[in-house]
Structure 1
Amino acid sequence: MTDLQLDVQRPSRCTPLPTDDQLALWASAALGEQRDSAELSVRIVDEAESRELNLQYRGKDKPTNVLSFPADLPPDLALPLLGDLVICAPVVAAEAEQQHKGLFAHWAHMMVHGTLHLLGYDHIEDAEAETMENLETRILGDLGFPDPYRPLAGRDPERSQDCPE
């Protein structure tokens, strides 16, 4: 198990949000045996901040579910700093609703997905996407969540949320 130091910032007014313990569990599951120790920051934001960061760093003028910012350390510097995740709570809530997924199942997916990006996984090429999706599905399954790429049918009571405009 990875020794994880997690810093969580919550400027979002959207509720409900996962606890720090839930976020740490999901990130640790993604880290698996790949890191003995890791330091990770998670900032939970609303749409305006997500949109601004997505435009600044990816050239896309819209909010997005998760942005990953890997630590850019020299290879000879052996620090556990993994990087930062910025997760947009209203986008995660809307996607969970649209895709008929449980809210916290989708939060877990975003934490696993973002953490895998910090570890160097990507989904630009088809083969990379397949590898990453299979890994996400296995990790989330180990955590007791359904396959994130096969949305649940019907409504889920954990999807109740209050995201101010």
Structure 2
Amino acid sequence: MTIHIDLQIETENKQLPSSDQLSLWANKAHQSKEIETEITIRIVDIEESTDLNHTYRGKDSPTNVLSFPFEAPTGIDIHLLGDIPLGDLVICAPVVEREAKEQEKESIAHWAHMVVHGVLHLQGYDHIEDEEALVMEGLETKIMMELDYPAPYQDQELS
């Protein structure tokens, strides 16, 4: 089963991954292979990312990726919706590009990591507590290496 992507591009940045790449990365990170699901990936500029980060996280700066898991309204049977919505990812193109340069990573690898990271968040993974972070980061590393990208965290190798 696959994740279907609704892609929204709201950036002036022209150096973006293709919809096929975004789909590959999202599907690789999808842990529940037995259901059809969909996500929205919205690629934005600094202003929208800053506004959303302020509204939902109380931070007055842009961020690389925001994840908004789908929550069905009370009384709605999500199984009647067709593809079950997983949620929305908002990715800030200028932040991803800046971070890739700062971290001396290939841009495409950092984009892949942001999609994998965001899709894992949509499925309930988190990295606030150290133990949760170990699980999530280990899964991210495994997925990224299966996609033939380097481990996303400095000095991290899959054992």
The TM-score with structure 1 as length reference comes to: 0.86
Deviation string, structure 1 residues 136-158 (Cα, Å, up to 9, x no partner) = 0000100000000027xxxxxxx
After TM superposition, the runs of 4+ consecutive aligned structure 1 residues lying more than 4 A away are: none
Q: What's 2:78 paired with?
A: 77
One-letter amino acid of the structure 2 residue matched with residue 9 of structure 1: Q
Shift of 1:38: 1.0
Shift of 1:32: 3.8
Separation of aligned partners in 1, 2:17 and 2:115: 11
- Paired-residue identity, %: 54
Aligned pairs, how many? 150
Q: What's 1:86 paired with?
A: 90
Separation of aligned partners in 2, 1:9 and 1:65: 16
Q: Which runs of 5+ in 1 are unaligned?
A: 152-165
Separation of aligned partners in 2, 1:110 and 1:19: 14
State yes or no: 1:56 paired with 2:55.
yes
Separation of aligned partners in 2, 1:6 and 1:35: 17
Shift of 1:35: 4.8
Q: What's 1:4 paired with?
A: 3
Q: Which structure's relative contact order is higher, taking Cα pairs within 8 Å and 6+ residues apart?
A: 1
**What is the alpha-carbon root mean square deviation over aligned residues?**
1.5
Q: What's 2:153 paired with?
A: 149
Shift of 1:33: 4.0
The TM-score with structure 2 as length reference comes to: 0.90
Specify whether residues 33 and 71 from structure 1 end up closer, same or farther in structure 2 by C-alpha distance, changes over 3 A only: closer
Q: Which runs of 5+ in 2 are unaligned?
A: none
State yes or no: 1:41 paired with 2:40.
yes
Q: What's 2:110 paired with?
A: 106
Separation of aligned partners in 2, 1:72 and 1:32: 18
Q: What's 1:155 paired with?
A: none
